Amino acid sequence: MNLNSDPSRFDFQEDGIQVEASVLADGLGIEASRVLTLLRSGEITSVCERGLNEDEGCYRLTFFHRGKRLRLVLDAGGRLIRRSAIDFGDRPLPTGLRRASP
């Protein structure tokens, strides 16, 4: 994924940030058509964190699915500034990776 991605892929709303299904599908290695179903069933979970101090205005979105974690960092304009993914294959994610980071 291009880090200078189109900010329209991320929509800031009053109650959260909406992410295009294709972004999650690409990062978690699933079909985009399955994303909404997996979110609704709780098979994809997420954490949204708001930046403080020098990270003020940034948001860190972390998505979990089976042995995978996708982390996206957005600036205040909704532009993707950092992306990382971890895939443990058939093994479950270690507990420490399922928590918000300091």
* pLDDT one-digit tens code per residue, 44-88: 999 999 998 988 889 999 999 998 999 999 998 889 999 999 988
- pLDDT number for residue 1: 46
Asked if residue 19 is part of any domain, the answer here is: yes
Domain, as residue range, for 47: 7-93
Q: What is the number of structural domains in the chain?
A: 1
User: CATH code at 27?
Assistant: 3.30.505
Q: Are 91 and 69 in contact (CB under 8 A)?
A: no
Asked if residue 99 is part of any domain, the answer here is: no
| Confidence tier at 3 by pLDDT (50, 70, 90) | very low
Asked if residue 74 is part of any domain, the answer here is: yes
Whether the pLDDT of residue 14 is over 60: the answer is yes
Asked if residue 1 is part of any domain, the answer here is: no
Q: Summarize the chain as % helix, strand, coil (round to 5).
A: 25, 35, 35
Higher pLDDT, 92 or 19: 19
Which three-class secondary structure state does DSSP give residue 33? helix
pTM score, two decimals? 0.82
Asked if residue 58 is part of any domain, the answer here is: yes
- pLDDT number for residue 27: 94
Asked if residue 60 is part of any domain, the answer here is: yes
Strands 68-74 and 44-50: unpaired
Quick one: DSSP state of residue 3?
Answer: T
Q: Which are the contacts of 60, defined by CB distance < 8 A and separation ≥ 6?
A: 48, 49, 51, 71, 72, 73, 74, 101
State both tokens at 35. Answer: 């994303």
Asked if residue 40 is part of any domain, the answer here is: yes
